[in-house]
């Protein structure tokens, strides 16, 4: 029994060791990922109106690791947030995305905007304001061409500071979106004080929209709330026509999800844009 216990302990220990070794390896590799050009940005369309025009795109970070292949952002972003690398990664993607949006404008799609995710770690730092300003200036992009997505839960971490940060961006003319709305327990009183333009309904509610009465009720309530506060509302994770139908009936007119397009690399996205603009 003793021996067995020893073995199972050692097994457990080895498993733990492997998990942390992998984490350390990812962390080290991530430090060099930008200069080794292993990171790239995927763009996913957000469409609106009856014709389903592409009105904006969300920039999503991708990591093509030399031995592990594609590593999902859900795996490496938490690591980057813990060791602070997210600040550098965030500034990098901001510059890349602003330059890309400028190209869309130059193609004649001059109403487009690019939406960039901002981590709670970045959002807590005043230097974010200067780096956004610089990214816009260097790209020659008007401020409204950039939308910042901040999750509801990072806004609620320190809501008073969040209000001040949001105001600074609002004064710059940047568009602001609350990401993953419905999951972060913000009080409606705060929603009133956050000077945002857009609410993105979390995909967990959209997923259950057609089969779960409660998810359907939550989605409907968010849409009514957003519209009565004159905010735009985007449904995330839209995968089927039946979801689109329910969302339209409820009054939502902006959609993002696999049904309309998966995230794709910049060049492919530009092809999609020029093909669609012919119609």
**Which of the listed partners (ligand C2E, Ca ion, none) does 160 bind, with a CB threshold of 5 to 8 Å by partner kind?**
none
**Which of the listed partners (Ca ion, ligand C2E, none) does 261 bind, with a CB threshold of 5 to 8 Å by partner kind?**
none
Among 117, 119, 147, 256, binds Ca ion (CB under 5 A): 117
Which CB sits closer to ligand C2E, 183 or 253? 183
**Binding of Ca ion at residue 152 (CB under 5 A)?**
no
Instruction: For residue 90, give the nearest of 44, 162, 146 by alpha carbon.
Output: 146
Of the ranges 42-50, 179-187, 208-216, 261-269, which one interacts with Ca ion (CB under 5 A)?
A: 179-187
Which CB sits closer to ligand C2E, 60 or 176? 60
Min CB(10)–ligand C2E separation in Å: 35
Of the ranges 66-74, 83-91, 113-121, 239-247, which one interacts with Ca ion (CB under 5 A)?
A: 113-121
Render the burial of 232-249: b for 16+ CB within 10 Å, e for the rest.
bbbbbbbeeeebbebbee
**Interaction mask 232-261, Ca ion, x per CB under 5 A:** ----x-------------------------
**Which of the listed partners (Ca ion, ligand C2E, none) does 217 bind, with a CB threshold of 5 to 8 Å by partner kind?**
none
Among 91, 179, 232, 250, binds Ca ion (CB under 5 A): 179
**Which of the listed partners (ligand C2E, Ca ion, none) does 73 bind, with a CB threshold of 5 to 8 Å by partner kind?**
ligand C2E
Instruction: For residue 150, give the nearest of 113, 168, 172, 124 by alpha carbon.
Output: 124
Q: Do the Cβ atoms of 236 and 223 come closer than 8 Å? A: no
Of the ranges 28-36, 119-127, 144-152, 249-257, which one interacts with Ca ion (CB under 5 A)?
A: 144-152
Q: Interface residues for Ca ion in 33-62 (CB under 5 A)? A: none
Min CB(24)–Ca ion separation in Å: 27
3-state secondary structure the chain: CHHHHHHHHHHHHHHHHHHHHHHHHHHHHHHHHCCCCCEEEEEEEEEECCCCEEEEEEEEEEEEECCCEEECHHHHHHHHHHHCHHHHHHHHHHHHHHHHHHHHHHCCCCCCEEEEEECHHHHCCCHHHHHHHHHHHHHCCCHHHEEEEEEHHHHHHCHHHHHHHHHHHHHHCCEEEEEEECCCCCCHHHHHHCCCCEEEECHHHHHHCCCCHHHHHHHHHHHHHHHHCCCEEEECCCCCHHHHHHHHHHCCCEEECCCCCCCEEHHHHHHHHHHHCCC
Among 29, 91, 180, 232, binds Ca ion (CB under 5 A): 180
Residue nearest to ligand C2E (CB): 257
Footprint on this chain of ligand C2E (rule: CB under 6 A): 44, 60-61, 72-74, 77, 90, 93, 117, 119, 179-180, 203, 237-239, 257-258, 263
Of the ranges 21-29, 31-39, 104-112, 175-183, which one interacts with Ca ion (CB under 5 A)?
A: 175-183
Taking only Cα atoms into account, the Rg of the chain, rounded to an integer number of angstroms, comes to 21
**Which of the listed partners (Ca ion, ligand C2E, none) does 96 bind, with a CB threshold of 5 to 8 Å by partner kind?**
none
């Amino acid at each position: 029994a003793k021996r067995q216990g020893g073995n199972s302990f050692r097994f457990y220990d080895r498993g733990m060791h492997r998990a942390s070794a992998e984490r350390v390896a990812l962390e080290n590799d991530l430090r060099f990922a930008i200069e080794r050009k292993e990171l790239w940005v995927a763009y996913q369309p957000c469409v609106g109106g009856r014709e389903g025009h592409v009105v904006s795109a969300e920039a999503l970070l991708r990591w093509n690791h030399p031995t592990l292949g594609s590593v999902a952002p859900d795996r490496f972003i938490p690591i980057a947030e813990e060791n602070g690398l997210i600040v550098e990664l965030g500034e990098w993607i901001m510059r890349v995305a602003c330059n890309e949006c400028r190209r869309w404008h130059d193609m004649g799609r001059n109403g487009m905007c690019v939406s960039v995710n901002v981590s709670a770690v970045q959002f807590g730092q005043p230097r974010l304001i200067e780096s956004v300003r610089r990214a816009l200036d260097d790209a020659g992009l008007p401020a409204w061409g950039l939308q910042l997505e901040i999750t509801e839960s990072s806004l609620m971490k320190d809501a008073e500071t969040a209000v001040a940060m949001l105001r600074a961006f609002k004064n710059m003319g940047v568009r602001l979106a609350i990401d993953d709305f419905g999951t972060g327990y913000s009080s409606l009183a705060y929603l009133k004080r956050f000077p945002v333009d857009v609410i993105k309904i979390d995909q967990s509610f959209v997923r259950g929209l057609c089969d779960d009465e409660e998810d359907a009720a939550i989605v409907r309530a968010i849409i009514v709330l957003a519209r009565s506060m004159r905010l735009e509302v985007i449904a995330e994770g839209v995968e089927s026509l039946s979801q689109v139908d329910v969302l339209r009936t409820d009054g939502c007119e902006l959609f993002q999800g696999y049904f309309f397009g998966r995230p794709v690399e910049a060049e492919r996205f530009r092809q999609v844009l020029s093909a669609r603009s012919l119609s």
